[in-house]
Amino acid sequence: MGNVQVGKGSAVAVNTTLGWIIIGPTCNSTECQHTSSFVIQDTLDAKLQRLWELEEQKGKSTFTLEEVECQEHFSRTHTRKHGGRYIVQLPFQNSHKPLGESRTKALQDSCLKRRG
């Protein structure tokens, strides 16, 4: 995709996924009372084919395995209260690294802060 602008305050040509469009002012005067429209028409069949191809690509999942598992977890565990709030169980990874032996150090730091 790309943009082409001739000068500041002029029309801009924008390359979209369905083709080029031109947007922006068409005259320099503030008293300009007309609107211009420029259309370059491809065959309707070609444009529809391109649109369908884009729609097919949107249907394909681009989620990682972790994201898919998270969505499945939400679907399995969420509920909704009468007031409209959602309740969701927190997801935990099965393959997490052990936390280590930091409890003793944390208690020592906590005691030092209370004394100081």
Q: pLDDT by residue (tens digit) across 107-116?
A: 887 776 666 5
pLDDT at 80 over 60: yes
Predicted pLDDT at 76: 92
Mean pLDDT of 34-51: 70
User: In this structure, is residue 47 part of a structural domain?
Assistant: yes
Mean pLDDT of 88-116: 75
User: In this structure, is residue 20 part of a structural domain?
Assistant: yes
Can you say how many angstroms the Cα of residue 18 is from the centroid of all Cα atoms in its chain?
20
Domain count for the chain:
1
Mean pLDDT of 46-65: 77
Mean pLDDT of 44-56: 79
User: In this structure, is residue 97 part of a structural domain?
Assistant: no
User: In this structure, is residue 112 part of a structural domain?
Assistant: no
User: In this structure, is residue 90 part of a structural domain?
Assistant: no
DSSP conformation class of 42: -
The one-letter amino acid code at 47 reads K
Which of 5-14, 16-25, 59-68, 75-84 has the least mean pLDDT? 5-14
Distance between CA 90 and CA 70 in Å, rounded?
10
Predicted pLDDT at 100: 75
% of residues, the chain, pLDDT over 70: 67
Could you tell me the pTM of the whole model? Answer: 0.33
User: In this structure, is residue 51 part of a structural domain?
Assistant: yes
What does DSSP say about strands 19-23 and 79-80: parallel, antiparallel, or unpaired?
Answer: unpaired
User: In this structure, is residue 50 part of a structural domain?
Assistant: yes
Mean pLDDT of 21-31: 69
Domain of 35 in residue numbering reads as 2-59
User: In this structure, is residue 34 part of a structural domain?
Assistant: yes
pLDDT at 30 over 70: no
Q: Is 39 helix (H, G, I), strand (E, B) or coil?
A: coil
